[in-house]
Each structure stands twice: as structure tokens, then as C-alpha cells.
A and B are shown apart, each in its own frame.
Chain A
């Protein structure tokens, strides 16, 4: 099969053996005028078309998580961290009183503020803590969400195509994107996990 990029990982058709096809052909009564090898080729190509059709057709609205963990600009960072830990998410949108997204705060923003030299990995921070006998996390204790959040927030509309969202993730290096309704208010969030569910046809019930 030809390589086609850009392509998200984990989306190749399940490996199918000549024996699988042979067994399937035996189950169908009558002579099938096709070799197992040809069928395999058709199968792989058809799978790719099906996947592209689903990705192209799917909109943010259909795959987004609606129960969004979110914070306000003046939420203490301590509470932000607690919320993110409780909900087991790696980032939350920051909204104003009208539920409009003003920024996004993520693990990366925390890590960056907790380390010197722009380290944004957990192990990077651990390494620094161990080397310098002290953790810089305490320095942001009094901070608020507004101090760390990334602005302006990258957002999408409810009818943005999933393929566009995948491109956005790659281009901006982000892991989630808040979804806005037509009035510009937060209505959901699409994370890499949501995309993975679609890519493997889970959750959508197609497989």
C-alpha cells in the first residue's frame, strides 16, 4: 500500500491474513471469482476509504466531550491543579462569566512555570527538583489561572470537521481544543482521546 501522509497514528486497518480470507470465502456458497490476495488488496483500500469518509464527515459536535472541566481566570492555581487531577485531564479551558473561552491552561503551562529553561516534561521537572534540592511548584502557590494560561485560546466551531482538528493539533502542537457554539460560548472540548476513539471506530459504534 502506498504511504499517505499526513496520517494520524494507530489508524491502519486490522491485519488480515490470507487464511482469514480463505476461511471467509469458504463460508460463502458458490465460486467467488477472486483470489485471496486480490480480496486483501480491496479490503485494505476500502478500509482506507471508509476511514477517510468517517473522518471527513465527522464534525467536532459529534465527537466532543460535553462535560467540560473548566476554570475561571481568577481560579487559584491550586484549585486548577486539584480539578485537573480529579478529572484526570491534562488541560482545561479558562472561561469568563459569559462562558466565553479566554485561554487554556494545561500540564505544559504548569511544568513550564515550575522549571527553569523552558522544560515542559514531567521528568524534566523531576530531574531539576532532585538536582536543586527544592521544588519550584511552591512558587506558583499564590497564582491564579490567568497567570499561567495560554492565550489566545485556539478554538473550533461545533461544525468544524474532524480532519481540520487533526491538522490543528499537529500544527499548533496542542492536545485539546475547546469547541464553541454559534454565540462563541464553550459547549465542549475535543481531546486526542476523542480522536483516537473515532480513528479506531470506537465509541462511534462502527466497529
Chain B
């Protein structure tokens, strides 16, 4: 049956990247997350504000590890995070007492709207989910969650990506801005 045959796959996995590529991916990710983590721990410790959220780890994979991917471009990074954050906060505010409903609704809607706006960025799904299940500290931020940690954090990571990804001759970032 064709339906089950499709589950076997049709092609093979892309090749392994070079050691240099792995090293540059490591360095970019280290510096990018470091920048955000430092702000989080040195300046915001003890305040109500947070800077480091889980979805930035996923963004790091893309913008330092798969820099040619459309999913990793600035439009997608910033657009995907900001749009998903707005959706996540809104959905939480609509169903604050039903996280089992708000969680899937936020993620699914984020994906659809990122598609519609050509800003698909997988970590956006996590950003929307965190707005719902991130706990009291996140909930207390309200729509400011969209500005910080989400917007500001993504912007800092983008700056690091621009600085680091363009150092080696074999790398160039971004592929496009808009």
C-alpha cells in the first residue's frame, strides 16, 4: 500500500559537515548563548525579568549550525520569535485556566502564522509554548515577554551570528534579510 510505503523514506541523509564547520558552529553557539546568559545572570538576577529562554537553544542550532537554511535567516529568526511570542501570550491570556488547551493552540497557531508570514523558525514553536507553560515569572511579564526576553534575546543572538558567521572564508550570513 502506498500509504505505508511512504513511511520507508525515499532518499538518504545529507553528508556530514567538515570539522571546521563543526568548530565554527560551536563557537557561534557558545558566544551567542553566552551573551544572552550573561545578561540574564549578571544584570537581571533577582529581578522579575528573565533573558534566557529554552527556545534560544534551538535558534542557536539554526543560526550557528545551519546558516544557509531559510529557517535560519534574520527574517525567520526575528519574525518567527516575535510573532510566536505574541500568539503565545495572547492564547495564554485567553485560556489561563486551561493550559492543556492553550499549549497546543499556541504552538499550532504559531506554526500556521509563521508559514503565512514566511517567517517559519522552528524555535518559534517553543517560544509560543513557553509563553503558556513558562510559569509565573513568564506569565507576569504579559506582553512584555514579546520585547524581552524574546525580541531582545533574538536580536543579540542575531548580532553574534552576523559577527561570527562571516569570519571564515567558507561562510557567509545571511542569505537574505527580507
**Measuring CB to CB, which residues of chain A are less than 8 angstroms from any residue of chain B?**
18, 22, 25-26, 29-38, 40
Candidates B10, B12, B18, B20; contact of A22 at CB < 8 Å: B12
- Considering the chains assembled together, what is the distance between the CA atoms of A64 and B20 in angstroms? 52
- B35-43, B65-73, B80-88, B110-118: which one contacts chain A? B65-73
B136: CB under 8 A from chain A? no
What number of A-B contacts does a CB cutoff of 8 Å give? Answer: 50
A18-B15 in contact (CB<8A):
no
9 tightest Cβ-Cβ pairs between the two chains A and B:
A37-B11, A33-B69, A29-B170, A31-B66, A26-B15, A35-B11, A37-B10, A36-B11, A31-B17
B66-A33 in contact (CB<8A):
yes
B11-A29 in contact (CB<8A):
no
A22-B171 in contact (CB<8A):
no
The residue in chain B whose Cβ has the minimal distance to the Cβ of A22 is: B15
**Measuring CB to CB, which residues of chain B are less than 8 angstroms from any residue of chain A?**
10-15, 17-18, 20-21, 65-72, 170-171
Instruction: List chain A residues, Cβ under 8 A from B68.
Output: 30-33
- The residue among B11, B20, B72 with the most chain A CB atoms within 10 A of its own CB is B11
Instruction: List chain A residues, Cβ under 8 A from B13.
Output: 35
The residue in chain A whose Cβ has the minimal distance to the Cβ of B68 is: A30
Subset of 10 A-B contacts with CB under 8 Å = A22-B14, A25-B15, A29-B20, A30-B21, A31-B65, A31-B66, A31-B68, A32-B68, A33-B68, A35-B12
- Considering the chains assembled together, what is the distance between the CA atoms of A26 and B12 in angstroms? 14
Candidates A25, A33, A36; contact of B71 at CB < 8 Å: A33
Candidates B11, B14, B20, B65; contact of A32 at CB < 8 Å: B14
Candidates B10, B11, B21, B70; contact of A31 at CB < 8 Å: B21
The residue in chain A whose Cβ has the minimal distance to the Cβ of B20 is: A29
Distance (whole angstroms) from the CB of B161 to the closest CB of chain A:
13
B17-A30 in contact (CB<8A):
yes
Instruction: List chain A residues, Cβ under 8 A from B72.
Output: 33
Distance (whole angstroms) from the CB of A45 to the closest CB of chain B:
16
- Considering the chains assembled together, what is the distance between the CA atoms of A36 and B14 in angstroms? 7
Distance (whole angstroms) from the CB of A68 to the closest CB of chain B:
50
Instruction: List chain B residues, Cβ under 8 A from A22.
Output: 12, 14-15
- Considering the chains assembled together, what is the distance between the CA atoms of A40 and B70 in angstroms? 18
- Considering the chains assembled together, what is the distance between the CA atoms of A33 and B17 in angstroms? 12
